[in-house]
């Protein structure tokens, strides 16, 4: 049983954490970005225990993955039961119930018009690989549009779509050809407090006014790939008109819409899919993070009329593994019964509380979000466009860690709040208190003469 959270009993990192981190440094790929030195022993709900006996309050959910919290007993039970019966057989060559049942359940849930079919992979990147392959296959068109600030994964195809940081691409060129990027709503040209009224149409006009007439014939574009709420790029919630415009342009030119709901899907935004907030109608949806509460699973869901590819054209040995599917079926049931509604209610509490913190601290320039996908931007107060402040954002995340609150950054200067969807009102309040303490400490250092 976790104690009242958080409970920090050593300096951070503690001695055991230090030892693990030293071992990691000599044998594990240095490409990973660890924001702070947390070495995890176990998790329960929104609680994380480190290897030195420190308990943390987790507002990262392993980067928006553990929807039902860490090691939810019913998910664990489903995993153990399924593992006792069948761990692997490969859905590419054989049939098994959990994969078929999950396809049926997801088909009934996705906001895609008409009947759909489901392809199973292991990750968000694989789901997006499947989606862009299918879009090319179905349309016979070679090109794809994606958005600046987006994150779609790191395999070569998904990386071609990704555009949140150039370090993710440095040294890996050439990527898959035929991908062009256009500004997302509230792009880099906008001031931080998001008051540019014309954003809805302006941002996408780059595609219609420049790319289409000059470099990218629209009839050659297979798909527009879009995060319905941009995640890695800064937890950016677009205005509804922006998505409506994307949909209108896609329909006009026979371009498919691929909604990457890898992060925003599975209840994260307080609805099962973020598209539902906007009355947005994708042709394909990709899903991964929240679906199996932490087991690897990535889905590409497409209209049945689109997912008509020949046997052998695409597959994955491990994708749709029976244990991951069993975890997903239980996750879905728990989301529908309790946690989807909890995400909505606690999300409102969190946003309300963060707006209160913003009213007391000028280094917070914006608070925004849907459900439990919430961001707070850290800025330099009194600068004309509220200049972004990545350094102080990082400092706040570090100070929060020292206090026992796990947060992550996203975008240039945003602190992201994406707790497990089981988070309680009390835990939201603890998070708000610790976050405000961290903000106050960083702000006082900054504003001191
Ligand atoms: C929106 C989105 N798409 C795709 C991915 C890639 O998922 P994975 O890391 O499982 O390949 C991520 C991961 O952060 C994501 O946030």
Can you give the pLDDT at residue 380? 94
3 domain residue, yes or no: no
Residue 138 sits in the same domain as residue 24: no
422 domain residue, yes or no: yes
Kindly report the pTM of this predicted structure: 0.97
Output the CA 123–ligand 1 centroid distance in Å. 7
9 domain residue, yes or no: no
Output the CA 168–ligand 1 centroid distance in Å. 13
pLDDT digit string, tens, across residues 349-375:
999 999 999 999 999 999 999 999 999
Output the CA 175–ligand 1 centroid distance in Å. 18
221-227/179-182 β-pairing? unpaired
String of b and e for 32-68 (b: at least 16 CB within 10 Å)?
A: eeeebbbbbeebbbbbbbbbbebbbbbbbbbebbbbb
2 domain residue, yes or no: no
Output the CA 418–ligand 1 centroid distance in Å. 14
Which of 152, 159, 295 maximizes ligand 1 atoms within 8 Å of its Cβ, making it the mutation to test the pocket? 152
Taking the CA of residue 154 as reference, the ligand 1 atom at the shortest distance is 11
Residue that is written with structure tokens 């439990």 in the block: 372
Examine the fold and report which residue of 334, 357, 392 is the final residue of a domain before the chain moves on. 334
Helices 322-334 and 97-109: crossing angle in degrees, nearest 10, is: 40
Output the CA 448–ligand 1 centroid distance in Å. 40
The count of other CB atoms within 10 Å of the CB of residue 91 is 23
Residue 193 sits in the same domain as residue 256: yes
Residue 237 sits in the same domain as residue 352: no
Distance CA 246, CA 203 (A): 10
Residue 107 sits in the same domain as residue 256: yes
Residue 322 sits in the same domain as residue 390: no
Output the CA 124–ligand 1 centroid distance in Å. 4
Residue ranges for the chain with pLDDT beneath 50: 193, 449
Planar angle of CA 166, 35, 439, nearest 5 degrees: 110
Residue 55 sits in the same domain as residue 110: no
Output the CA 286–ligand 1 centroid distance in Å. 10
Examine the fold and report which residue of 334, 354, 385 is the final residue of a domain before the chain moves on. 334
* Domain housing 240: 74-334
Can you give the pLDDT at residue 449? 44
Integer-rounded Cα Rg, in Å, for the chain is 22
8 domain residue, yes or no: no
Residue 124 sits in the same domain as residue 177: yes
Q: In CATH, what number is assigned to the domain containing residue 53?
A: 3.90.1150.10
1 domain residue, yes or no: no
Residue 238 sits in the same domain as residue 165: yes
Taking the CA of residue 288 as reference, the ligand 1 atom at the shortest distance is 10
| 3-state secondary structure at position 120 | strand
Q: Distances in Å between the alpha carbon of 257 and those of 179, 236, 249, 299, 334?
A: 14, 19, 10, 16, 29
The count of other CB atoms within 10 Å of the CB of residue 447 is 11
Residue 276 sits in the same domain as residue 419: no
Closest CA to 110 of 92, 127, 125, 91: 127
432 domain residue, yes or no: yes
Output the CA 50–ligand 1 centroid distance in Å. 25
273 domain residue, yes or no: yes
Of all protein residues, whose CA lies closest to atom 7 belonging to ligand 1? 124
* Segment (H or E) for 144: strand 143-147
Q: Token digits for 331?
A: 């996750």
Sign of the four-CA dihedral 46, 49, 55, 61: negative
Residue 377 sits in the same domain as residue 292: no
The count of other CB atoms within 10 Å of the CB of residue 267 is 27
Which of 231, 292, 319, 414 maximizes ligand 1 atoms within 8 Å of its Cβ, making it the mutation to test the pocket? 231
The DSSP bridge partners found for residue 335 are none
Examine the fold and report which residue of 314, 334, 354 is the final residue of a domain before the chain moves on. 334
Burial class (CB in 10 A: 0-12, 13-18, 19+), 318: middle
Domain count along the chain: 2
Output the CA 90–ligand 1 centroid distance in Å. 23
Distance CA 422, CA 399 (A): 25
Residue 302 sits in the same domain as residue 405: no
Taking the CA of residue 128 as reference, the ligand 1 atom at the shortest distance is 4
Output the CA 16–ligand 1 centroid distance in Å. 31
Residue 99 sits in the same domain as residue 207: yes
Q: Token digits for 213?
A: 């007439």
Which of 165, 262, 316 maximizes ligand 1 atoms within 8 Å of its Cβ, making it the mutation to test the pocket? 262
Output the CA 161–ligand 1 centroid distance in Å. 11
Q: In CATH, what number is assigned to the domain containing residue 310?
A: 3.40.640.10
Residues with CB under 6 A from ligand 1: 63, 123-125, 128, 151-153, 227, 231-232, 260, 262-263, 288
Sign of the four-CA dihedral 105, 111, 115, 118: negative
Q: Distances in Å between the alpha carbon of 198 and those of 7, 147, 187, 377?
A: 47, 18, 12, 21
Taking the CA of residue 296 as reference, the ligand 1 atom at the shortest distance is 10
Which of 62, 124, 132, 282 maximizes ligand 1 atoms within 8 Å of its Cβ, making it the mutation to test the pocket? 124
Which of 127, 168, 289 maximizes ligand 1 atoms within 8 Å of its Cβ, making it the mutation to test the pocket? 289
């Amino acid at each position: 049983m976790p104690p009242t959270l958080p409970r920090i009993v050593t300096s951070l990192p503690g001695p055991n954490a230090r030892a693990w981190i030293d071992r990691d440094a000599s044998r594990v790929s240095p490409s990973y970005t660890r924001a702070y030195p947390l070495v995890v022993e176990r998790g329960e709900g929104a609680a994380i225990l480190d290897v030195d006996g420190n308990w943390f309050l987790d507002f990262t959910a392993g980067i928006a993955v553990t929807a039902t919290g860490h090691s939810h007993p019913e998910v664990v039970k489903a995993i153990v039961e399924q593992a006792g019966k069948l761990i692997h057989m490969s859905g590419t060559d054989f049939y098994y119930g959990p994969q078929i049942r999950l396809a049926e359940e997801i088909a009934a849930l996705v906001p895609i018009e008409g009947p759909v079919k489901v392809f199973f992979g292991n990750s968000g990147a694989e789901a997006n690989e499947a989606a862009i392959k299918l879009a090319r296959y179905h349309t016979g068109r070679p090109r794809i549009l994606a958005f600046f600030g987006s994150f779609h994964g790191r395999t070569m195809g998904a990386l071609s779509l990704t555009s949140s940081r150039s370090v993710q691409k440095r040294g890996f060129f050439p990527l898959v050809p035929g991908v062009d990027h256009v500004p997302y709503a509230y792009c880099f040209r906008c001031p931080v407090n998001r008051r540019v009224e014309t954003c809805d149409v302006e941002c996408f006009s780059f595609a219609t006014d420049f790319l289409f007439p000059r470099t990218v014939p629209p009839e050659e574009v297979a798909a527009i790939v879009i995060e319905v709420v941009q995640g890695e790029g800064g937890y950016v919630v677009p205005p509804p008109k922006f998505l409506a415009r994307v949909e209108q342009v896609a329909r006009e030119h026979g371009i498919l819409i691929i909604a990457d709901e890898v992060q925003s899907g599975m209840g994260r935004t307080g609805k099962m899919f973020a598209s539902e907030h906007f009355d947005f109608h994708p042709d394909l949806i990709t899903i991964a993070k929240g679906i199996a509460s932490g087991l690897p699973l990535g889905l590409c869901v497409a209209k049945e009329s689109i997912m008509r590819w020949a046997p052998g054209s695409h597959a994955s040995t491990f994708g749709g593994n029976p244990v991951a599917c069993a975890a997903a079926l239980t996750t879905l049931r728990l989301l529908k019964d309790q946690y989807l509604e909890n995400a909505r209610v606690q999300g409102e509490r969190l946003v309300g509380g963060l707006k209160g913190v913003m009213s007391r601290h000028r280094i917070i320039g914006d608070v925004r979000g849907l459900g439990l996908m919430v961001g707070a931007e850290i800025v330099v107060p009194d600068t004309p466009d509220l200049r972004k402040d990545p350094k102080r954002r990082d400092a706040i995340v570090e100070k929060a860690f020292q206090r026992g609150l796990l947060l992550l950054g996203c975008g240039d200067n945003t602190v992201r709040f994406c707790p497990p969807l089981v988070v309680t009102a009390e835990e939201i309040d603890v998070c708000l208190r610790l976050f405000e303490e961290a903000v106050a400490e960083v702000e006082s250092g900054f504003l001191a003469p």
